[in-house]
Amino acid sequence: MIGILGGSFDPIHNGHLTIAKQAKEKYKLEKIIFVPVNIPWAEKLPLRTKSNHRVDMLNLAIKSEEQFEASLVDIKRGGTSYTIDTINDLQFLLSEGEKFHVIVGADNIKSFCKWQNYDELKARTHIVIASRNNLNARANVDAKYLNNVAINISSTEIREKIQAKQDISGLVPEAVKTYIINKQLYL
């Protein structure tokens, strides 16, 4: 069984990694595939960094985690990223017959019924909802609930701290922090 964690990862942070580890352990997943979006369909603001920087930070963040990998299917496809397209591409590439476990933060599940082909997505995957930012939402979705300790880290908060010249230690892996500083991202 494989877990899928998609997102902007602008930047990836320790909350993403913690949720992935917890989902992998709880649902006995063989691996977690992180999928950075090309253009998020639901976000009002554009991404802050180009995909190459987001991919580089993602690779740095998961480098030491043997059962974590990155897939660039959304970026390579181009255009707006929809989870159902990600699932289609990954099932084709991996010849995966089992249902993927799609990991979603509770902050995103509110809009789940607006997701592209959400009925098909529900039928073809296991939705795993992770508590996030003090949201422990129970949605009208046939879903699994991670019941993790809520992760109170957001990429927005990290970008704001960087702009305010505040330390982001503990919010992102050290290698990601160094990359952000060296590339002068989010200033």
Q: How far apart are CA 71 and CA 93, in angstroms?
A: 10
**Domain range summary for the chain, segments of one domain joined by +:** 2-153
Alpha-carbon gap, residue 100 to 11, rounded angstroms: 24
d(CA 29, CA 147): 16
Q: What is the pLDDT of residues 80-118, one digit of tens each?
A: 999 999 999 999 998 767 789 999 988 777 777 788 998
Average of per-residue pLDDT across 178-185: 98
**134's tokens:** 């003090």
- DSSP character for 81? E
Q: Which pLDDT does position 46 carry in this prediction?
A: 79
Mean pLDDT computed over every residue of the chain = 90
Contact call for residues 89 and 75 (beta carbons, < 8 A)? no
pLDDT digits 0-9 by tens, 25-58: 999 999 999 999 999 887 666 789 999 999 999 9
Rounded to two decimals, the pTM is: 0.92
**CATH number among 3.40.50.620, 3.40.50.720, 3.90.1150.10, 3.90.1490.10, domain 2-153:** 3.40.50.620
Is the distance from CB of 33 to CB of 4 less than 8 angstroms?
Answer: yes
CA dihedral 14, 18, 40, 77 (to 10 degrees): 110
